[in-house]
Amino acid sequence: MSMYRNRYFLAGILLILLGVQFRMVDSFVLNESTTRALARVTKSTPVADNSSMTSFMMQVHPKPMKRVTPPRWLGLAMIAVGAVIGCHAIVIPRHNH
């Protein structure tokens, strides 16, 4: 097998495993620096607003952290694309050197 086939197969397997991971996770929480960088890049409003509940929560948990919920279809799409790439790697002709 050439490295060309191996790389396709590895990419397919990694996409399948990443897709399974996305299917198993409902949401994940970004750390403080990533949340601030995301807010800076998207130019969104600050994570904390001026409501009384937010000011109370900032005393308990002062670091702003964003919860990201990936769409449900993302995991299935990654699994499907990974399976197609993996099958494509199997049918790529071998190069005998």
Give per-residue pLDDT as tens, 51-85. 565 555 555 556 678 888 999 899 999 999 999 99
Domain boundaries, the chain: 1-25+70-97, 29-69
SS3 string, 48-84, reads CCCCHHHHHHHHHCCCCCCEECCCHHHHHHHHHHHHH
Q: Taking 90 as the threshold, does the pLDDT of residue 87 lie above it?
A: yes
